[in-house]
Amino acid sequence: MVALPGVDPSWSAYLDVPSTSGADEPGTTHRWHYLDNGAGLAGPAKGTLLCVHGNPTWSYLWRTFLAAGLDAGWRVVAVDQLDMGYSDRTGAFRRLEHRITDLGDFVAAAGITGPLVTVGHDWGGVVSLGYADRHRADLAGVILTNTAIHQDGDRPIPAPLRLALAPGVHRLGTRTTSAFLDVTLALARPALDRDVRRAFRAPYRSAADRQGIANFVSDIPADPSHPSYAALTATAEGIRSLDVPVLMMWGPHDPIFSDTYLEDLAGRLPHADIHRFEHASHLVQEDADTASTAMDWLSARSVGTGAPPVDDARSTEAAPYVPLGRRLGELAGGPEGPATAVAEMTPAGPPRTLTWRQLDDDVAAVAAGLTALGHGPGTRVSLLVPPGVDLTVLIYACLRIGAVIVVADAGLGARGLSRAVKGSAPDVVIGIERALLAARAFGWPGRRISVGTLPAAKRKALRVEASLGDLRAARRTADVPAPAPDADAAILFTSGSTGPAKGVVYTHRQLSAMRDAVEHTLGLGPGTALVAGFAPFALLGPALGATSVTPAMDVTAPRTLTAQALADAAAAIDATVVFASPAALRNVLATSSALDASGRRALARITLLLSAGAPIPVPLLESVQGLVPAAALHTPYGMTESLLVADIDLAGIRAATASDAEGAGNGVCVGLPVHGTRVALSPLDGTGAATGEPTTTPGVTGEILVDAPHVKDRYFRLWRTQQDAARTAPWHRTGDVGHFDAEGRLWVEGRLGHVLTPAPGVLTPVGLEQVLEALDGVRLAAVVGVGPAGTQAVVAVLETEAGGRPRLADAPLAADARSAARAHGVDLAAVITVPALPVDVRHNAKIDRAGVAAWSGRFLSGGRAGSL
């Protein structure tokens, strides 16, 4: 065997195995090749991982598992299936049934005993599951990567496999040439190194070597008439009763084993832990760090030890559970029933409104309609509906029947939104026409329900089976039982401003705790009238018993909110509270000169204005105060994973900024933890990593940790991400960096991933950015590190009013910036001016510092920097 990158030569082994498979004559023995790290373990193995490759790979696929197993104390045995890799070419056509038996023969001959964890990929996933189903005595766990265990007889197999099976293509593509092998290797993201590609190809040099590849393709059970369909079906049904821990690691860009097959497996193994590596494709082992994820999972789930897994600790100070929608019924049946509950501004004419009684009736009707279509507890419903009356009704109807709402907004962009919807694997998509067109174009899963009534032809083209009007008209059924408090209630997607959007799962109990935190902290409740220019508060308004109105704006683009639109919405319900993002407030100020007298009077009645989503400069707040002179201005701090963490008002910000207390300054003061919330910090080490034990000591910079009844339950199908965020139980690690001052106030200094590591020591960006933004002509600043960690050069990139092409700052501005930075204790290596910094379009303030750092490195090195 040739030298293989990533493989210790001592791992390679051969074993003669008597065959009991019906594919061979009695008494036949075959020589198997396999990789085995057992001899390199420092002590007794915790158990054995039995890794089975698919077609057209071989045991080389599992080399990272063998290396990781040495550190984790697991023996890893990766086989070459017969007719594949360096195992014997048997001359027999081996079907699925034979291959499952073959694997059992190998395990018996090798003397492998439990605890045993099967690991499979591609058709090796099917073979390994077949073995697991038949050999349960030693089975301790199951790990799967992109594979499939069932083929719906009414659904064609994936197009690439149909092509590979086509007459005239099959033999030429799989045996005569290496086309099938080459196309499979080309699926890696990023492309494989030349030496790795050569290693995968090494056992398949000749047409005779590739006969197993051809036979594997021929054995795909494309429909129920195929000889291997019965074995596939038996395994698919058999695994439903597996009661060992299961981990599925998936590459969603796989053109063969798509998320459809993941969803099928999740239905058969509902207790499985799942992690989707968002960027990965078919060769997920090559595209992502599946090996260390698997080892971490084995430890977290106590696989092979016989001990029960330790669940994440949760806050024990939860208030009594009151369902989120309880107040709809209470207010509908009380004296407030005829009062307005929810309003929606329209482009022309009066607002669309529902009273509390009408809202409760509408929710009940839509809930009955969904139930009549077969939707209920656990059904995932993707709601692609703008905030307003319809979205409010749908949210509470879904929660009433125990369906799980999935909310991701169009602000993610077409690709981001598609990634979010596909990743949530909805059972049904309810959307406006534009969303349903996207569902057809991007191939989103799920049944379709339209918000509006569509013409018959369009309804057919979009595969719409019902409209919201049809749901409302459905015959009422008996009330469904209330969902369990700890059942999943919602999957809310993050903004995507700090990486790919993540689905954040909340239970019914956690959503109700979120409502309670908002009510206790901000005093919102029955009698409050709220202008909700921020989607989560549009969701929570009815739960709080507050009348809520959605202004005429695109909530996915906050800068579309004008001062007149805000005033009109406030006037429509005599609002006393406004929630709008900083980006929205900037445009409100920019358009305030167009306000008429009635609009100014409506805004003068506002007593509380809330703004969050990004740091808010004091000058902006002071300008807003002029529009809402009677309002207390609050800037609550939170995130999708915990809507409220801390809160402060304008007076508090002024006091904190002027304070000389220990720890005051260097960042944005976000105030004190809110009702029921604990906050701590994990101190940063010299490399900028948050490794310290949780502390509340003033002046210590660290990652912000949160524990509260309203913190999310987990990330959806992101097992590893969840483990990282919850590794310091019971804390949720936010990824934000900050410190406390002596008064216990929390200051946010930036994101953990944006921490700089120059030679003098760790540096966080926000404080220095604020200093630079105070310079004349500077609109926005980004402070980034360029170069190797530990010796990074600190670079300031300034968005200036002068605009123009990116360039080194002129001498006066550079001198001012360097002087201001030195007063902050930092020496700037370079000052660059740009016409615009890349920011999250919805918040208009969250800077893509990682992108700015990469661009700055190219710009300063004289290479092609490209656009920022």
Residues 367-424: pLDDT tens digits? 999 999 999 999 999 999 988 999 999 999 999 999 999 998 777 888 889 999 999 9
Instruction: Determine the pLDDT at residue 310.
Output: 55
Instruction: Determine the pLDDT at residue 348.
Output: 78
Question: Are 747 and 777 members of one domain?
Answer: no
Instruction: Determine the pLDDT at residue 319.
Output: 60
Instruction: Determine the pLDDT at residue 614.
Output: 72
Amino acid letter, residue 467: S
Instruction: Determine the pLDDT at residue 538.
Output: 66
Q: Which domain holds residue 731?
A: 637-754
**Boundary-marking domain end, from 257, 280, 300:** 300
Is residue 314 in some structural domain? Answer: no
Amino acid letter, residue 666: N
Tally Cβ neighbours within 10 Å of residue 797: 27
Q: And the tokens for 93?
A: 């056509």
d(CA 624, CA 449): 41
Instruction: Determine the pLDDT at residue 497.
Output: 66
Q: Are 584 and 569 in contact (CB under 8 A)?
A: no
Does the pLDDT of residue 311 top 70, yes or no? no
Instruction: Determine the pLDDT at residue 318.
Output: 53
Q: And the tokens for 87?
A: 């195992």
Q: And the tokens for 573?
A: 């319900």
Does the pLDDT of residue 191 top 80, yes or no? yes
What element of type H or E holds 638? strand 637-639
pLDDT band for position 844 (50/70/90)? very low
Q: What percent of the chain has pLDDT over 90?
A: 79
Helices then strands (H, E): number in the chain?
30, 34
Is residue 212 in some structural domain? Answer: no
At residue 508, the 3 state secondary structure works out as helix
In tens, the pLDDT along 515-562 reads 999 999 998 989 899 998 776 666 789 999 999 998 988 766 777 899
What element of type H or E holds 798? strand 793-800
404-407, strands of its sheet edge to edge: 464-467, 447-450, 428-431, 380-384, 404-407, 488-493, 503-507, 714-715
Q: And the tokens for 619?
A: 């000058």
Average pLDDT for residues 785-804, to the nearest whole number?
Answer: 92
Question: Are 817 and 770 members of one domain?
Answer: yes
Query: Which residue, 141, 97, 135, 136, is CA-closest to 119?
Result: 141
d(CA 462, CA 441): 10
The DSSP 8-state label assigned to residue 687 in this structure reads T
**Boundary-marking domain end, from 273, 300, 327:** 300
Question: Are 707 and 787 members of one domain?
Answer: no
In tens, the pLDDT along 198-207 reads 999 999 999 9
Average pLDDT for residues 252-280, to the nearest whole number?
Answer: 95
Question: Are 108 and 232 members of one domain?
Answer: yes
Instruction: Determine the pLDDT at residue 159.
Output: 78
**Boundary-marking domain end, from 618, 635, 652:** 635
Tally Cβ neighbours within 10 Å of residue 866: 9
Average pLDDT for residues 245-250, to the nearest whole number?
Answer: 98
Is residue 596 in some structural domain? Answer: yes
DSSP state letters, 87-107: S---SS---HHHHHHHHHHHH
Question: Are 20 and 102 members of one domain?
Answer: yes
Instruction: Determine the pLDDT at residue 308.
Output: 62
Instruction: Determine the pLDDT at residue 864.
Output: 77
Question: Are 140 and 30 members of one domain?
Answer: yes
Residues 6 or more apart whose CB falls under 8 angstroms from that of 252 comprise: 258, 259, 276, 277, 278, 280, 419, 422, 423
Please give the mean pLDDT across all residues of the chain.
92
Is residue 868 in some structural domain? Answer: no
The CATH number that applies at residue 581 is: 3.40.50.980
At residue 268, the 3 state secondary structure works out as helix
What element of type H or E holds 647? strand 642-647
Burial (CB count within 10 angstroms: exposed 0-12, middle 13-18, buried 19+), residue 160: middle
Is residue 470 in some structural domain? Answer: yes
Question: Are 271 and 290 members of one domain?
Answer: yes
Does the pLDDT of residue 350 top 70, yes or no? yes
Does the pLDDT of residue 731 top 90, yes or no? yes
**315/573: higher pLDDT:** 573
Average pLDDT for residues 19-25, to the nearest whole number?
Answer: 94
Burial (CB count within 10 angstroms: exposed 0-12, middle 13-18, buried 19+), residue 807: exposed
Number of domains in the chain: 5
Q: What percent of the chain has pLDDT over 70?
A: 96
Largest Cα span, the chain: 98
d(CA 239, CA 237): 6
Question: Are 274 and 383 members of one domain?
Answer: no
Hey, which bits of 165-295 come out as E strands?
246-250, 273-276
Question: Are 443 and 362 members of one domain?
Answer: yes
Is residue 867 in some structural domain? Answer: no
Does the pLDDT of residue 316 top 50, yes or no? no
Question: Are 372 and 263 members of one domain?
Answer: no
Residues 6 or more apart whose CB falls under 8 angstroms from that of 110 comprise: 15, 17, 34, 77
Q: Are 1 and 12 in contact (CB under 8 A)?
A: yes
Q: pTM of the predicted model, to two decimals?
A: 0.93
Is residue 187 in some structural domain? Answer: no
Is residue 730 in some structural domain? Answer: yes
Question: Are 14 and 114 members of one domain?
Answer: yes
Question: Are 573 and 679 members of one domain?
Answer: no
Query: Tokens 């022309």 label which residue?
Result: 348
